[in-house]
């Protein structure tokens, strides 16, 4: 029987890609989407044809608990992607969409008996690591200063948020842990890397955390379809990039994440620590 | 002389801290903030505090501008104002612990406060405690268990604990990005009469004088302590969280033990 999946914030860049990816496998999934307005986000590629059929779409504003509760009713899995995506957004927006909104989604899913929530967290939950070497060198494209072997940051390392946005993702992960341990829901968090509408690792400082749209869609799918006994986990969702500084082995091992894309760094002269560039 | 503001000053632990610090007027000028000018129900009669009018601010932390004014001129803010248990439900946790914590950190940044001591809770690690390995350790059936440290993942079991994780995340942000010193204390089970709250809770107990000592050590910590998380426990038997880190970094020496 097909798994009924609700993708929240469905007109966002990543959520839209995830919806189409799942909707393209109708024998496995029946995909639904909800959003607070029926229009693609400014980040999403302009594609007028991407309008959900009426029977797959719910209007829901995360600030309005009742609308969220209706949208998740009867779902097997909810992919929680509706959020303020701008890390520089003022606290008011973070509060309504990411703090209150995340609570409404977990609580509505509990009340509705939804078995699993896939929570869209962010690699920015670890962004503070970039203040420390060798991650700082990677971010500053001083690739010659990066040792050949270094610790890749894992889901077990303490979070390192850098603004209310990434702190709100730490909050969402805490809710995921709570609803998993106490209410018996399966809650899987994906710390999504840098995804962009161009679907390209074009900024050298962000290349190491890039994630292609198909890689992130694939990881979310692997989470949606994961075995029932997977109750809680946190995965980094980044492509197989050069100088990747977050761990993806855990996602590979637990849910079979197999990224097919990866940003490559072209080094001018690694021995002299000269600047690399994205290809 | 250190200017210290204690928020939620009429609470149990905050009041004990206030009483302790005001006894050293040559070292601390202590102010208090609270949303009402009356002690919490948890405070025993002999521990009721008296904050002079010129050292008191009435505020519920819901207004950033008001908070910023309240903390201006302070060197250290000890942030204890919060829904203390989550029993007030989501709205209470949201207003006091989620929005209140943000306004506190942001207000301290705007006002140039150098250090925030944030009252977190042992509840952020509560999920470990009910795992079989930890239950066996606590009951004496096993003598070895991994001692949970501040570096281990959090294990909240309710909204209250999640709100404390939010507060610790803000502490990290304001330390790393805004260069404030932010020290978090995961406070154990503190009760008004200082007796063990119930049989079997000795593992996470903290006496009032021990928690007050740890708070004071955090207030006094060297400037180069920029961010840290400490467990605030007495020297308990069968304690499954680490207190050595607090000893090593700020010289915490608990004198009681459950």
Work out the minimum CA distance from A170 to partner chain B, whole angstroms: 7
- Alpha carbons within 13 angstroms on the beta-carbon side of residue A275 total 7
The reply to whether B256 falls in a domain is no
Residue A274 scores a pLDDT above 70: no
Task: Identify the active-site residue in A135, A165, A179, A243.
Answer: A165
How many whole angstroms separate alpha carbon B159 and alpha carbon B166? 10
From the list A61, A81, A85, the residue with the least C-alpha distance to A71 is: A61
User: Any CB–CB contact under 8 A between A131 and chain B?
Assistant: yes
Quick one: pLDDT at residue A48? 59
Between CA B133 and CA A24 the distance in angstroms is 45
Largest CA distance in chain A: 59
Structurally, chain B folds into a number of domains equal to: 1
Q: Classify A3-128+154-260 by CATH class.
A: alpha beta
For residue A79, give the H/E element and its range: strand A77-80
- Per-residue pLDDT tens for B17-59? 999 999 999 999 999 999 988 887 778 877 788 899 999 999 9
Q: Which helix (H) or strand (E) holds B230?
A: strand B227-232
Contact B121, B163 (CB under 8 A): no
B257 lies in a domain? no
Q: Which residue of A has its CA nearest to B175?
A: A162
Smallest Cβ–Cβ distance between A181 and the set B99, B102, B127 belongs to B127
Predicted complex ipTM: 0.95
Residue range of the domain that includes B26 = 2-250
Res A275 pLDDT > 70: no
B255 inside domain: no
User: Is the CB of A174 less than 8 angstroms away from the CB of B173?
Assistant: no
pLDDT at A244: 98
User: Worst-scoring range by mean pLDDT, A9-18, B37-46, B102-111, B127-136?
Assistant: B37-46
The Cα-based distances of A70 to A34, A78, A97, B110 in angstroms read: 10, 12, 18, 41
Q: Are B113 and B77 in contact (CB under 8 A)?
A: yes
**For chain A, what is the mean pLDDT?**
93
CATH code of B232's domain? 3.40.50.720
Number of inter-chain CB pairs under 8 A, A vs B: 82
For the residues B193-222, what does the mean pLDDT come to?
A: 90
- In a domain, residue B139? The reply is yes
SS3 B241: strand
Question: Six-digit token pair at A155?
Answer: 């889901």
- Mutation to test the B interface, candidates A122, A136, A160, A178, most B Cβ within 10 Å: A178
In contact, A121 and A190? CB cutoff 8 Å: yes
Tokens of B238: 């069968």
Q: How far apart are CA B147 and CA A60, in angstroms?
A: 44
The verdict on A183 touching B (C-beta cutoff 8 Å) is: no
Q: Please determine, for residue B152, whether its predicted confidence score (pLDDT) is greater than 60.
A: yes
**Tens-place pLDDT, residues B231-256:** 999 999 999 999 999 999 999 999 99
With bands split at pLDDT 50, 70 and 90, how would you rate the model's confidence at B192?
confident
Is residue B158 included in any domain, yes or no? Answer: yes
Contact (CB<8Å) B166/A170: yes
Enter the pTM of the model. 0.95
* Active-site annotation holds for A165: yes
B126 touches chain A (CB under 8 A): no
8 Å CB contact of B154 and A177 = yes
pLDDT greater than 60 at residue A279: no
pLDDT per residue over A171-215, tens digit each?
999 999 999 999 999 999 999 999 999 999 999 999 999 999 999
Q: Is B184 on the interface with A (CB under 8 A)?
A: no
In a domain, B258, yes or no: no
pLDDT score, position B234: 95
Q: What is the mean pLDDT of residues A103-108?
A: 98
Reported confidence tier of residue A42, pLDDT bands at 50, 70, 90: low
């Amino acid at each position: 029987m097909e798994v009924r999946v609700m993708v929240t914030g469905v007109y966002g860049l990543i959520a839209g890609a995830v919806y189409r990816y799942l909707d393209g496998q109708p024998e496995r999934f029946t995909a639904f989407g909800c959003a607070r307005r029926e229009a693609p986000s400014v980040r999403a590629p302009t594609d007028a044809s991407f309008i959900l059929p009426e029977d797959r779409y719910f209007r829901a504003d995360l600030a309005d608990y009742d609308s969220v509760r209706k949208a998740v009713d009867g779902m097997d899995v909810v992919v929680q992607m509706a959020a303020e995506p701008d890390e520089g957004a003022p606290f008011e927006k973070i509060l309504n969409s990411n703090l209150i909104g995340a609570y409404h989604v977990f609580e509505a899913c509990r009340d509705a008996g939804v078995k699993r929530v896939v929570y869209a967290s962010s690699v920015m939950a670890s962004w503070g690591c970039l203040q420390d070497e060798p991650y700082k060198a990677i971010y500053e494209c001083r690739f010659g200063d990066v040792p050949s072997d270094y610790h890749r940051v894992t889901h077990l390392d303490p979070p390192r948020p850098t603004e209310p946005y990434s702190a709100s993702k730490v909050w969402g992960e805490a809710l995921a842990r709570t609803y998993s341990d106490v209410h018996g829901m399966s809650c899987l968090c994906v710390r999504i890397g840098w995804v962009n509408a161009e679907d390209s690792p074009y900024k050298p400082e962000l290349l190491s955390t890039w994630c292609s749209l198909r890689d992130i869609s694939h990881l979310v799918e692997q989470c949606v379809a994961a075995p029932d006994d997977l109750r809680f986990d946190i995965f980094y969702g980044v492509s197989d990039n050069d100088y990747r500084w977050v761990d993806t082995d855990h996602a590979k091992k637990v849910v079979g994440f197999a990224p097919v894309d990866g940003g490559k760094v072209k080094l001018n002269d690694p021995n002299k620590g000269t600047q690399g560039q994205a290809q | 002389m250190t200017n210290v503001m204690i928020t939620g000053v009429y609470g149990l632990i905050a009041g004990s801290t206030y009483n302790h610090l005001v006894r050293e007027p040559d070292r601390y000028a202590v102010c208090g903030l609270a949303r009402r000018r009356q002690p919490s129900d948890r405070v025993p009669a002999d521990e009721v505090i008296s904050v002079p009018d010129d050292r008191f601010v009435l505020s519920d932390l819901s207004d950033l501008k008001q908070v910023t004014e309240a903390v201006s001129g302070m060197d250290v803010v000890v942030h204890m104002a919060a829904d203390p248990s989550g029993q007030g439900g989501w709205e209470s946790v949201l207003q006091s612990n989620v929005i209140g914590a943000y306004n506190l950190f942001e207000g301290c940044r705007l006002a140039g406060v150098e250090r925030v001591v944030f009252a977190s809770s042992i509840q952020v690690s509560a999920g470990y405690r009910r795992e079989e390995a930890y239950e066996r350790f606590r009951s004496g059936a096993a003598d070895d268990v991994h001692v949970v440290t501040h570096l281990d993942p959090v294990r909240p079991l309710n909204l209250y604990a999640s709100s404390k994780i939010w507060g610790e995340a803000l502490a990290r942000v304001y330390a790393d990005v805004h260069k404030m010193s932010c020290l978090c204390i995961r406070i154990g089970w503190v009760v008004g009469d200082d007796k063990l709250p119930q049989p079997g809770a000795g593992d996470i107990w903290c006496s009032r004088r021990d928690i007050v000592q740890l708070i004071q050590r955090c207030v006094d910590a060297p400037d180069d302590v920029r961010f840290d998380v400490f467990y605030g426990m007495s020297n308990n038997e069968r304690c499954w969280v680490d207190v050595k880190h607090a000893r090593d970094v700020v010289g915490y020496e608990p004198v009681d033990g459950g």
